[in-house]
Amino acid sequence: MATRHFLTLLDLTPDELNYLIQRAITIKSNLKAQGPSYTPLPNRTLAMIFEKSSTRTRVSFETAMTHFGGHALFLSPRDTQLGRGEPIGDTARVLSEMVDAVMIRTFSHAGLEEFAAASSVPVINALTDDYHPCQLLADVMTWTELRGSVKDRTAVWIGDGNNMCHSWINAARQFDFNLRICCPKGYEPNANMMAVAGNRVTLTHDPQDAVKNVDLITTDVWASMGQEEEQAKREADFAGFQVTEAMLDQAKEDALFLHCLPAHRGEEISTTLLDDPRAVVWQEAGNRLHAQKALIEFLLLGKVN
């Protein structure tokens, strides 16, 4: 069987993604009941290449492999030959000889694709400039845990048309929910991605209107990793796009708020938003562990039930 990669949510079928969400919920409940006693990957190794910073992604993947009885290797360009110019494809071929899967956080999505093309073991996208699919597994899991099936529900994305926004668009396609994207002019997501998503994904520039009657509100930082020098310009351009408790009040009564974190209080969210009970970001962050366990298990062992 050809090696399966997880570079975007489109690499798995809707059935497979729905399986992963349910499997993640089961893995979580078994962990809570029995502790980390499920060890399906003894002595297996996940290589983790981080070309950008991380807290949640590193800790969740590393903990997942520890719980599973395996091992995770943290590799940064500073300490590997990648940082000294060894070609991506050569690195992929070498790692494929030794490890069972590779997780990469990098800048260029094309670079990730180049790595995956040369890799004979599964490659997982742990964030590129264009996508963050692992985060969406945890986000859809959280939404599902708290509110049941997400099919035909409506989420709103407020802010930058960035990597997270692109993965929300793919999630809307794959999980069949409606997505309103509300961004300042000039910060729209990729137009082709919008076009192929069809009319379940819509674009607006008015945050007050966009949040009306939605089931879920989500946002992200205004300047992503690699855009630090644009911070001041973005703060000006994103004025009016801060998510506040008053905006949540315009959504459905049982609406939820998600944020991939890290958050900048006082910028994309009000200083107190994460204290609001509708904000379920700590559960969302914790679900990175369970969702990625389901993903690793699926890529290495296939469906287990």
Which residues carry out catalysis? 105, 132, 135, 220, 260, 288
Using CB under 6 A, which of the segments 34-42, 82-90, 156-164, 264-272 binds ligand NVA? 156-164
Cβ proximity to ligand NVA: between 115 and 157 the closer is 157
What does each C-alpha distance from 9 to 63, 87, 156, 182 come to in angstroms? 23, 26, 19, 21
Q: For residue 8, state whether it binds ligand NVA (rule: CB under 6 A).
A: no
Site for ligand CP in 185-244 (CB under 6 A): none
Nearer to ligand CP, 145 or 284 (CB): 284
Question: Is there a contact between 300 and 7 (Cβ–Cβ < 8 Å)?
Answer: no
Of 153 and 288, nearer to ligand NVA (C-beta) is 288
Q: How far is the CB of 285 from ligand NVA (least distance, A)?
A: 10
- 163 makes contact with ligand CP (CB under 6 A): no
Q: Is 293 exposed, middle or buried (0-12, 13-18, 19+ CB in 10 A)?
A: buried
The DSSP output letter for 38 is -
Site string for ligand NVA, 97-116 (x = CB under 6 A): --------------------
- The tokens for 171 are 């999630």
Residues 25-54 that bind ligand CP (CB under 6 A): 54
Indicate left, alpha or beta for 159 from its phi (over 0: left) and psi (-120 to 50: alpha). left
* 55 sits near ligand CP (criterion: CB under 6 A): yes
Q: Which is nearer to ligand NVA, 95 or 273 (CB)?
A: 273
Q: Which residues, numbered 258-277, are part of the site for ligand CP (CB under 6 A)? A: 260-261
CB of 135 to ligand NVA, least distance (A): 7
Among 249, 244, 292, which Cα is nearest to 271's?
244
Q: How far apart, in whole angstroms, are the C-alpha atoms of residue 285 and residue 142?
A: 9
Q: Which residues pair with 256 in a beta bridge?
A: 216
Using alpha carbons, select from 185, 178, 136 the residue that is nearest to residue 155: 178
Considering the rule CB under 6 A, would residue 57 count as an interface residue with ligand CP?
A: yes
The CA distance from 224 to 205, in Å, is: 20
How many CB atoms within 10 Å of residue 61? Answer: 28
Q: Which of 145, 220, 284, 297 binds ligand NVA (CB under 6 A)?
A: 220
> 23 among the known binding-site residues?
no
Among 56, 166, 234, 293, which residue sits at the site for ligand CP (rule: CB under 6 A)?
56
List own/partner pairs for 93-96 with CB under 8 A and 24 or more apart: 93/118, 93/119, 93/120, 95/47, 95/119, 95/121, 96/120, 96/121
- Tell me: does residue 224 bind ligand NVA (CB under 6 A): yes
**Contact residues for ligand NVA, defined by CB under 6 A:** 127, 132, 162-164, 220-221, 224-225, 260
Bind-site residues for carbamoyl phosphate: 54-57, 81, 105, 132-135, 260-261, 288
